[in-house]
Amino acid sequence: MGQLEGRVAVVTGSGRGIGRSIALRLVRDGASVVINDLDEAPAAETVAEIQAAGGRAVACVGDVTDKDFGDRIIDTALKSFGDCHIVVNNAGYTWDSVIQKMSDEQWYAILDVHLTAPFRILRAFFSHLKPAVEAERKDGRRVVRKVVNISSTSGVNGNAGQVNYSSGKAGIMGMTRTLAKEWGRYDVTVNAVAFGYIQTRLTTPLKEGEGGSIDVQGRTVKVGIQAGRLAALNQMIPLGRGGTPDEAAGSVYMFCSPDSDYVSGQTLVVNGGA
């Protein structure tokens, strides 16, 4: 049996990238997982992969910034698996610009996905948390639940061209510290992981003059990093490269496992030693 046998996890943005690797890592240790993605196809593909390997997973497709999404994804966990023990707020993207060129739409879109969406999801989680803990304690049981919020080194240190993203990722660290204080009495640990350069579609190497993009809510958002800039970035990282999604998932798993039951309110920087 794995350390997460019998546990139910919600992982946003888990149809691909880091979120997918997090979900697969949790399933590997026995957790049942609610998979979320903005698009149906990657969510369905990840669910099918988990089920084919003998794991348990269901999809909750949709935009985490929708006002009812928090209630919907927590309800999916409860209706599908009967409980919710782990919440990983991972969904997000970047939409970069220097401040003088950044529109209000650009500012609020990034704050909504990185800060408001986790707030709503965790508020919905509390509606289940309080009665569940009361029932468990009445039965003489102590169950430690876990929240892991995904931040970034841009939130820790700031990053030119990312005033919206850096602000959102700094804000999620404040939310993490506050909820660690509010929810400790319910046996919930709340931690954050701040990633540096991880190799995902948002950091795809680009040739000079090229530009990649993703579609979000009808918007075309440029993503990717110029190859020359990536080479310079790799030189600044003592390990000499960006991390893989599976390596990123390992740090999140630590905060989801019983090994971190007395760790709360912390932000772990995962950046290869940079």
Q: pLDDT tens digit string along 125-175?
A: 999 999 999 999 999 999 999 999 999 999 999 999 999 999 999 999 999
Of 1-5, 82-86, 109-113, 190-194, give the lowest mean pLDDT range: 1-5
Q: Where are the beta strands (DSSP E) in 94-207?
A: 145-152, 188-195, 205-206
Instruction: Report the alpha-carbon distance of residue 155 to residue 158 in Å, rounded.
Output: 5
pLDDT of residue 209: 46
108 is catalytic: no
Closest CA to 61 of 17, 21, 114, 14: 14
Location of structure tokens 């971190």: 260
Going by pLDDT thresholds of 50, 70 and 90, the confidence category of residue 77 is: very high
- Residue-wise pLDDT tens digits, 224-237: 676 777 788 888 99
Going by pLDDT thresholds of 50, 70 and 90, the confidence category of residue 263 is: very high
What average pLDDT does the chain have?
Answer: 94
Instruction: State the pTM of this model.
Output: 0.92
List the catalytic residue out of 165, 186, 253, 262: 165
> Would you list the domain boundaries of the chain?
8-270
The single-letter DSSP state of residue 64 is: T
Q: Domain 8-270, CATH 3.40.50.720 — does that match? A: yes
